[in-house]
Amino acid sequence: MRKLKLVMVGNGMAGVRTLEELRKIAPDMYDITVFGAEPHPNYNRILLSPVLAGEMTIQDIILNDLQWYADNGITLHLGARVTEIDRRNRSVIATDRKGGTITVDYDRLLMATGSTPFMPPFPGRDLPGVISYRDIKDTDEMIAAAATFPHAVVIGAGLLGLEAANGLALRGMKVTVVHNSEWIMERQLDRTAGKMLQAELEKKGMRFRMNAQTAELVAGASGRVAAVKFKDGDAIPADLVCVAAGIRPNVELAEKAGIHCNRGIVVNDTLQTYDPRIYAVGECANHRGTAYGLVAPLFEQAKVCANHLAEMGISRYQGSVTSTKLKVTGIDVFSAGDFSGSDGAEDIVLHDPGLGIYKRIVLKDDKLVGAVLYGDTKDGAWYFQLLKDEQDISDIRDHLVFGNAHLGDVGHKGGNVAAGMPDSAEICGCNGVCKGTIVKAIQEHGLFSLEDVRRHTKASSSCGSCTGLVEQILASTVGGAYQPADSNNRAVCGCTELSHGEVRRAIREHKLLSVAEAQRHLGWRTPNGCATCRPALNYYCLSTWPHEATDDPQSRFINERAHANIQKDGTYSVVPRMWGGLTTPGELRAIADAAEKYKIPTVKVTGGQRIDLLGARKEDLPGIWSDLARAGLVSGHAYGKSLRTVKTCVGAEHCRFGTQRAMELGVKLEKMLYGMWSPHKVKLAVSGCPRNCAESGIKDVGVIGVDSGYEIYIGGNGGIKTEVAQFFAKAKDDDEVMAYSGAFIQLYREEGFYLERTCHYLERVGMEHVRQRVLEDADSRRALYERLLFALQDYTDPWAEICEDPSGGPRKREFEIIKVQEREI
Amino acid sequence: MTRWTRICALTDIPSLGSRVVESTGEGRIAVFRSSADQVFALHDRCPHKAGPLSQGIVHGTTVTCPLHGWKIRFEDGQVVAPDVGCAKPYPVKVEGGDVFLQI
Ligand code: SRM
Ligand SMILES: Cc1cc2nc3c(=O)[nH]c(=O)nc-3n(C[C@H](O)[C@H](O)[C@H](O)COP(=O)(O)OP(=O)(O)OC[C@H]3O[C@@H](n4cnc5c(N)ncnc54)[C@H](O)[C@@H]3O)c2cc1C
Ligand code: SF4
Ligand code: FES
């Protein structure tokens, strides 16, 4: 098949990102030609500020070097400006560096021309020494001017103007910032934060002229600009004038070709312009009335655009919420969302002028809609996440303004201390990654997303408890370019665009009964998925279609395949079930015998009230199991995303305080749930009285006996981040406890995302939802409970199943080692 | 000198699974089978911290190590970037439904 021709105009951040996304999903579909007016390969424009400030060099900020284009077979014309699009003949015409003409045909055209700086029409704007701040050339000019001249004037105190002013000041110039409104960064900050920021920048030596109207730029004797004159007649000296008065989408070329433009090239949700062969991404595009000026939305556009260029046609771009951060070292400002004070919005303000801290958050209908932080921006990423997720904050409203720290600790959802940490601070305890390593990887490899950081540094890729911190580091290192994904809609993994919720829904609606069928139906990009998506798909099929879906052992993590826990040295641990923590001399004897017979090096009592045989060889597992099985012992599933243990205390059976028979109920619950697979592990506990010796307060389901019956608590977690279980319901007897907790667990099994513990599930769907489905609606509760019992009926112990298979079937054979003898010939 | 040794039938290795071969000279070798019924053999030691690759999840022609999730390519034993390292590959072939390993 002939390859299609794709031509891209504009070699900037949005365009090249689109090509990167396209190469990922359709590497061979197009012959690609790129025109870039600048003489450089794609670089990270937002890091021009640190370059100007002397903190980085141009070499540091190159994102795709020439080799990248070559490796990907992309024809690159640098220093070549496209001057015309011939839509009838489908070709573009460009002028190269030497004035020559290049004509290239296209099947699809991608416009990524970015923006042009806006130059207000005051006299003198063409003088030497008057520049804008957009590219490497401008930056070089500013650096050169700073080495020769003393006075700089920056017109415009937005993000860009202030970063320019800061850089020039650091390079030794006397800088005056001229601004035409009452406070600086008025589009991002409210008045108070703007004034605080101004005071801080004044301390660094910058001068400000507010409410000032520039009348003209005046030339000196040499012909170079020498002064800025205001409408009130005043003038100040200026050897360099940097105009940062805003940007305008660069639509000249598109307009000339007759493509519909209106403050940007107008595109639909697939990033297509009015000419179906032509797409536009980045600052030049106007989507639903907005032309974005920050890179995070542009990257989202790039992803969607690539999907449509690849003719996959499944994603839409629906606009972005943006946040900003000023990249001036030593100053912390963060702003996101809307804080202009619209109808029905409420403000919460915390202002400590002594400490130089100001925080304002804006609420509307129990949701966070805006945030401005000054002086202490640690919680910026957290607020931004709440805002994007449109999370109901009524429960945490009291503490909201004090930040995430006041809600507990570093948390699963957003850390808050990263910015102030030294480079040597360990961020990821699992993989031993410190802050400096992460920052370095972000800068050297041009990383923008959490996924990228995980891939390159392994930070946050194991237990995930440091995810919040890593997101903070990303946010503070790349500034506004960091766009946290909407947590509920993250793609399952790189093999698909679909989120867990979408996959679950499709498996239910289309009755998909196996991993392979689901992958086929949902258009998986990889032949067999990966180690992340396969276990999730397998669980979703099994839990949605019990007794109908086919279990795929190869899509389970080794622990669930070997029915034992793999150890660091490749041996396994074996944990037999001890119902409710109870055992008998016969069982203990069988365990002792097996430990001796198979030379188990370590025998340990676990934190889950049972005994662990650690260090067993894989080939011995079937033997160990059959010995244990003879004494009536079954698998404890200490390895599975499944029911783990039901911890009990001695309860009313023995204890002088006991009000209820805890051991008896614990055993019943464990027998009821035996063999249950779940999104993540599930742990229960039953205590006989509120002294709570079984620690019911930190279990997925915790039951506490009281005089009149039981109290049920749900969503507790004693692991990475301790989470106290929430009171759920009162139950009058054992049967009610089983029905209520069974129904809740089934709801979690049906709605939970893979690897989401009950506490995270509860946080996502809300306690109200669970109460509604399990407590208020008795029919729904009954149906859930019945579905749970149906799914668990006829479960056979996996140990017995494997070792008693008389045919020595394939599952048993897998445990055997094939021995070969090499012979010298 | 090396030679081809029959180790098992192709059907003794689960599709997208593996078997472990223990040889006197080379130690443990993992033999994998892809969903397209190709077979591959690698030294059963992850270049990271010696995890048993045979126990990992197989996808495409790659295995994800069970211990810390490094990905190792079957064709050349190279670790998928950004991690680096290499597990020794061995020649392996299927003939008449039997798997032969060259060691
Ligand atoms: C054996 C045991 C430690 C012990 O010797 O006591 C243990 C051992 C492991 N735990 Fe645990 N946990 C053990 C009780 C606990 C407890 C205490 C409890 O259950 O009462 C907790 C906190 C309670 C909780 O989960 O809410 C606990 C919280 C964790 C976590 C964090 C879970 C979380 O959601 O935050 C992990 C990591 C994970 O699952 O992703 C984990 C993971 C692990 C794994 C499975 C790590 C792994 O994937 O290989 C460990 C296997 C070690 C091995 O080589 O066999 N283990 N683990 C305990 C087995 C109990 C049992 O009889 O089944
Ligand atoms: C100093 C500075 C600091 C910034 N800081 C941040 C920040 O902290 N956070 C943030 O999110 N954003 C920041 N931005 C904005 C961010 O850089 C832009 O949003 C982003 O680069 C836009 O990408 P783009 O691909 O749309 O446009 P560009 O990156 O501008 O790429 C467009 C390219 O097209 C070329 N071009 C135009 N017309 C033609 C033609 N006819 N033929 C050939 N080539 C053409 C241009 O030369 C240019 O190279 C900053 C910008 C600057 C200048
Ligand atoms: S047993 Fe649990 S706490 Fe101990 S090292 Fe392993 S995972 Fe960590
Ligand atoms: S030992 Fe294989 S990833 Fe660590």
What is the ipTM, given to two decimal places?
A: 0.74
Q: How far apart are CA A389 and CA A813, in angstroms?
A: 49
B65 CA closest ligand 4 atom index: 2
The 10s digit of each residue's pLDDT in A31-63 is: 999 999 999 999 999 889 989 998 888 988 898
Q: Which of A558, A569, A825 sits opposite B1 (nearest CB)?
A: A825
Q: Tell me, what's the pLDDT at A383?
A: 86
| Predicted confidence band of residue A543 (pLDDT cuts 50, 70, 90) | very high
For residue A459, the CA-to-ligand 4 centroid distance in Å is 15
Burial class (CB in 10 A: 0-12, 13-18, 19+), A250: buried
Q: What is the mean pLDDT of residues A443-460?
A: 82
Q: Is B68 in the pocket of ligand 4 (CB under 6 A)?
A: yes
Cα atoms found within 13 Å of the Cα of residue A16, Cβ hemisphere only: 25
Question: Does the pLDDT value for residue A412 go beyond 50?
Answer: no
Q: Closest residue of B to A452, CA-based?
A: B82
The CA distances from residue A589 to A273, A595, A607, A631, A808, in Å, are: 76, 10, 21, 9, 28
| Predicted confidence band of residue A408 (pLDDT cuts 50, 70, 90) | very low
Q: Tell me, what's the pLDDT at A485?
A: 62
Among left, alpha and beta (phi > 0; psi -120 to 50; other), residue A265 is beta
Question: Does the pLDDT value for residue A655 go beyond 60?
Answer: yes
| Residue carrying structure tokens 């080799």 | A67
The 10s digit of each residue's pLDDT in A209-221 is: 999 999 999 999 9
Q: What is the mean pLDDT of residues B36-40?
A: 95
- Ligand at minimal distance from the CA of A567 is 1
Q: What is the mean pLDDT of residues A752-758?
A: 95
The 10s digit of each residue's pLDDT in B66-92 is: 999 999 999 999 999 888 899 999 999
The 10s digit of each residue's pLDDT in A472-517 is: 888 777 766 666 666 667 789 889 888 999 999 999 999 999 999 9
Q: What is the mean pLDDT of residues A430-442?
A: 84
User: Do residues B71 and B82 lie in contact, with contact meaning Cβ atoms separated by under 8 Å?
Assistant: no
Average pLDDT value over all residues in chain A:
90
Q: Tell me, what's the pLDDT at A487?
A: 61
**Hey, are the CB atoms on B64 and A531 less than 8 Å from each other?**
yes
B56 CA closest ligand 4 atom index: 2
Parallel, antiparallel, or unpaired for β A81-86 and A91-95? Answer: antiparallel
Q: Token pair for residue A132?
A: 């804008």
Question: Does the pLDDT value for residue A825 go beyond 50?
Answer: no
Q: Tell me, what's the pLDDT at A411?
A: 38
The 10s digit of each residue's pLDDT in A419-435 is: 667 787 778 776 778 88
Which contacts (CB < 8 Å, 24+ apart) does range A127-131 have? A127/A217, A127/A219, A127/A223, A127/A224, A127/A225, A128/A223, A128/A224, A128/A225, A129/A224, A129/A225, A129/A238, A129/A239, A129/A240, A129/A241, A130/A217, A130/A225, A130/A241, A130/A243, A131/A240, A131/A241, A131/A242, A131/A243
Q: Provide Rg for chain B, Cα atoms.
A: 13
Q: How far apart are CA A302 and CA A13, in angstroms?
A: 9
User: What's the per-residue H, E or C state across A347-390?
Assistant: EEEEEECCCCEEEEEEEECCEEEEEEEECCCCCHHHHHHHHHHC
- Of A242-256, A290-304, A420-434, the range with the lowest mean pLDDT is A420-434
| Predicted confidence band of residue A813 (pLDDT cuts 50, 70, 90) | confident
The residue to mutate among A21, A40, A45, A443, having the most atoms of ligand 2 within 8 angstroms of its beta carbon, is A45
A607 CA closest ligand 1 atom index: 6
| Predicted confidence band of residue B38 (pLDDT cuts 50, 70, 90) | very high
In sequence order, the 6+-apart residues with CB closer than 8 A to the CB of A781 are A739, A740, A743, A773, A774, A775
**Hey, are the CB atoms on B55 and A558 less than 8 Å from each other?**
yes
Residues of chain B contacting residue A535, judged by C-beta atoms under 8 Å apart:
57
CA–CA–CA angle A637, A640, A646 (5° rounding)? 50
Largest CA distance in chain B: 39
Q: Is B49 in the pocket of ligand 4 (CB under 6 A)?
A: yes
Q: Token pair for residue A592?
A: 């002792």
CA distance B13 to chain A (A): 8
The 10s digit of each residue's pLDDT in A581-612 is: 999 999 999 999 999 999 999 999 999 999 99
Average pLDDT value over all residues in chain B:
93
Question: Does the pLDDT value for residue A682 go beyond 90?
Answer: yes
Q: How far apart are CA B90 and CA B76, in angstroms?
A: 9
Q: Tell me, what's the pLDDT at A802?
A: 82
Task: Name the residue at shortest CA distance from atom 16 of ligand 1.
Answer: A607
Q: How far apart are CA A213 and CA A223, in angstroms?
A: 23
Parallel, antiparallel, or unpaired for β A30-36 and A4-9? Answer: parallel
Strands (E) across A201-306 are located at 207-209, 214-219, 225-230, 235-237, 240-243, 247-249, 265-267, 278-280, 285-287
In sequence order, the 6+-apart residues with CB closer than 8 A to the CB of A548 are A513
**Hey, are the CB atoms on B25 and A822 less than 8 Å from each other?**
yes
**Hey, are the CB atoms on A822 and B64 less than 8 Å from each other?**
no
The residue to mutate among A645, A683, A760, having the most atoms of ligand 1 within 8 angstroms of its beta carbon, is A683
Task: Please tell me the total number of residues recorded for chain B in this structure.
Answer: 103
Q: Tell me, what's the pLDDT at A448?
A: 79
For residue A347, the CA-to-ligand 3 centroid distance in Å is 44
Q: What is the mean pLDDT of residues A663-681?
A: 97
Q: Which of A557, A810, A820 sits opposite B23 (nearest CB)?
A: A820
Type of residue at A411: G
Q: Closest residue of B to A817, CA-based?
A: B20
Considering A312-326, A471-485, A723-737, A795-809, the range whose residues carry the highest mean pLDDT is: A723-737
> How many C-beta neighbours within 10 Å does residue B88 have?
13
Q: What is the mean pLDDT of residues B31-35?
A: 96
> How many C-beta neighbours within 10 Å does residue A578 have?
22
Q: Tell me, what's the pLDDT at A417?
A: 61
A573 CA closest ligand 1 atom index: 55
CB contacts < 8 Å between A and B, how many?
97
**Hey, are the CB atoms on A553 and B59 less than 8 Å from each other?**
no
Give A486's DSSP letter. Answer: P
- Ligand at minimal distance from the CA of A458 is 4
Instruction: Provide the percentage of residues in chain A whose pLDDT is more than 90.
Output: 67
**For residue A141, which of A286, A101, A500, A152 has the smallest C-alpha distance?**
A152
The 10s digit of each residue's pLDDT in A329-371 is: 778 888 888 777 667 888 888 888 888 888 988 998 888 988 9
**Hey, are the CB atoms on A820 and B22 less than 8 Å from each other?**
yes
Burial class (CB in 10 A: 0-12, 13-18, 19+), B39: buried
- Of A165-179, A288-302, A542-556, B34-48, the range with the lowest mean pLDDT is A288-302
Parallel, antiparallel, or unpaired for β A572-574 and A602-605? Answer: unpaired
Q: Closest residue of A to B67, CA-based?
A: A568
How distant is the alpha carbon of residue B65 from its chain centre? 11
Q: Which of A555, A568, A820 sits opposite B7 (nearest CB)?
A: A820
Parallel, antiparallel, or unpaired for β A817-820 and B4-9? Answer: unpaired
A410 or A107: whose pLDDT is higher? A107
A48 CA closest ligand 2 atom index: 1
